[in-house]
């Protein structure tokens, strides 16, 4: 017990002199003494740490440092609140929110069977960036041109805009982005991971098989497709309502 006490050191935190454990970070020490330092990156325990840059403090003679990465030293003087720190945190928060378009997971996204990041691609469409919108859609939905015509649009039933007037036409906007992508000179194709040397057999090339082909190809696997119909995605043509999925839209690869 004596050895543990001898290892302790003294610092000044917001004017209060404290005896602290040097193995802890300044952020942990502040929490122990009920001193609030804004922090987000400490909540991430399932992935590599990405500094939020909010938990900064001022150290006398050193400058601004991240509290989550800094350990105390004997005689250290630390300030957790100042105008310089507030300005720094405001800039950091602006960077965090610069690509954050709405809820972390909106009701419309939870209602989507494919889990498409709806609020993100709607943001890109609103900004006039249809290529970025298509890139977001194709992360989880390989055939937006077809799905944008036959999807039952569960997302629209959960759209928060209905609390104001009526839900957004999410399905039609997805179709609109996919139509523009198809009409462009170079339709967007998601990047592929390096080849893994593995082969996947896929039975059928209809509404289920064709997205599977695209997904496995993106993951770096080669594939073999066995189908009864002479053309791929023919099931979308034969199984979809006559007014829903035009033949030309269905036959085009990866749409």
DSSP string, 238-254: HHS-TTTS-HHHHHSTT
Quick count: other Cβ atoms within 10 Å of Cβ 56? 25
> Is the pTM for the entire model greater than 0.85?
no
Of the candidates 216, 133, 129, the one whose C-alpha atom is nearest the C-alpha of residue 170 is 133
Asked whether the beta carbons of 35 and 11 are under 8 A apart, the reply is no
Considering the chain, what percentage of its residues have pLDDT values greater than 70? 75
CB count within 10 Å of CB 234 equals 20
Q: Residue 63 — very low, low, confident or very high, per pLDDT cuts 50/70/90? A: very high
Q: 57 Cβ partners below 8 Å, 6+ apart? A: 26, 37, 64, 65, 67, 70, 78, 79, 80, 85
Q: What is the DSSP letter of 208?
A: T
The residue among 100, 99, 94, 89 whose CA lies nearest residue 54 is 89
Question: How many angstroms separate the CA atoms of 75 and 12, rounded?
Answer: 7
The proportion of the chain whose per-residue pLDDT surpasses 90, expressed as a percent, equals 39
What pLDDT, on a 0 to 100 scale, did the predictor assign at position 144? Answer: 83
Identify the pLDDT of residue 228. 56
Instruction: For 120-134, write each residue's pLDDT tens digit.
Output: 899 999 999 988 999
What would you report as the CA-atom Rg of the chain, rounded to the nearest whole angstrom? Answer: 27
Whether 58 has a pLDDT exceeding 80, the answer reads: yes
Question: Residue 117: which region, alpha, beta or left (left: phi > 0; alpha: psi -120 to 50)?
Answer: beta
Please tell me the predicted confidence (pLDDT) of residue 40: 82
């Amino acid at each position: 017990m004596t050895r543990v006490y001898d290892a302790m050191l003294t610092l000044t935190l917001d004017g209060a002199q404290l005896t602290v454990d040097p193995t802890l970070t300044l952020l942990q020490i502040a929490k122990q003494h009920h001193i609030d330092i804004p922090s987000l990156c400490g909540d991430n325990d399932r992935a590599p740490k990405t500094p939020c840059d909010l938990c900064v403090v001022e150290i006398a003679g050193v400058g601004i440092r991240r509290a989550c990465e800094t350990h105390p030293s004997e005689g250290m003087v630390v300030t957790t609140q100042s105008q310089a720190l507030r300005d720094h945190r405001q800039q950091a928060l602006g960077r965090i929110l610069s690509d954050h378009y709405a809820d972390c997971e909106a009701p419309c996204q939870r209602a989507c069977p494919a889990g498409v990041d709806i609020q993100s691609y709607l943001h890109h469409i609103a900004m006039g960036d249809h290529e970025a919108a298509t890139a977001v859609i194709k992360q989880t939905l390989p055939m937006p041109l077809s799905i944008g015509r036959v999807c039952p649009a569960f997302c629209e039933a959960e759209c928060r805009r209905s609390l104001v007037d009526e839900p957004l036409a999410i399905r039609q906007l997805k179709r609109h982005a996919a139509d523009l992508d198809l009409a462009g000179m170079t339709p967007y194709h998601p990047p592929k991971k390096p080849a893994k040397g593995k082969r996947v057999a896929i039975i059928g090339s209809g509404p289920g098989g064709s997205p599977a082909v695209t997904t496995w190809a993106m993951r770096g696997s080669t594939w073999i497709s066995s189908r009864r119909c002479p053309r791929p995605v023919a099931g979308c043509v034969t199984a979809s309502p006559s007014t829903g999925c035009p033949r030309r839209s269905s036959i085009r690869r990866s749409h």
